[in-house]
Amino acid sequence: MPASSGIYVIAKVSKIHGLPMTCEWLYAGQSNNLRRRYVEHNHWSEPNPGLDALRYQESCEFWWTAAPLEELDEIEADLIDALKPAANRRAGNRRRKN
């Protein structure tokens, strides 16, 4: 995982024979350092109560993609609008631009 900027999602994934069958979107976020943010989410002092139990769940996955800093806000907001992740504090609080 790079130490560069990007977008990430945390999902609880149910698999059969190693293949994903269902996905429950838990969180969508952004970071100017994806590696650092991954470590923060897996740390014992996770500040988001909706994500605090993640470290105990083997079925949770952290997916990411690199993105320029100037695009992070828009991409994150689009993901939150589309996925409606359970642990996002701002889920449903954004009006889509035309």
Quote the tokens at residue 25. Answer: 């979107």
Q: Is residue 88 part of a domain?
A: no
Q: Is residue 65 part of a domain?
A: yes
> Domain span at residue 60?
6-83
Segment holding 94, helix H or strand E: none
Q: Is residue 61 part of a domain?
A: yes
Q: Is residue 1 part of a domain?
A: no
Greater model confidence, 48 or 6: 6
pLDDT reported for residue 50: 66
- The number of domains in the chain is 1
Distance CA 67, CA 71 (A): 7
Strands, sheet with 6-16, edge to edge from the N-terminal-most edge strand: 19-31, 6-16, 60-66
17-64, pLDDT tens digit by residue?
A: 999 999 999 999 999 999 998 888 776 566 666 676 565 566 889 999
CATH label of the domain that carries residue 42:
3.40.1440
Contact criterion met (CB below 8 Å) for 50 and 25? no
Q: Is residue 96 part of a domain?
A: no
Average model confidence (pLDDT) for the chain? Answer: 83
Q: Is residue 14 part of a domain?
A: yes
pLDDT reported for residue 98: 34
Distance between the two ends of the chain, CA-based, in angstroms? 34
Q: Is residue 15 part of a domain?
A: yes
pTM of the shown model: 0.79
Contact criterion met (CB below 8 Å) for 41 and 28? no
Greater model confidence, 41 or 11: 11
71 three-state secondary structure: helix
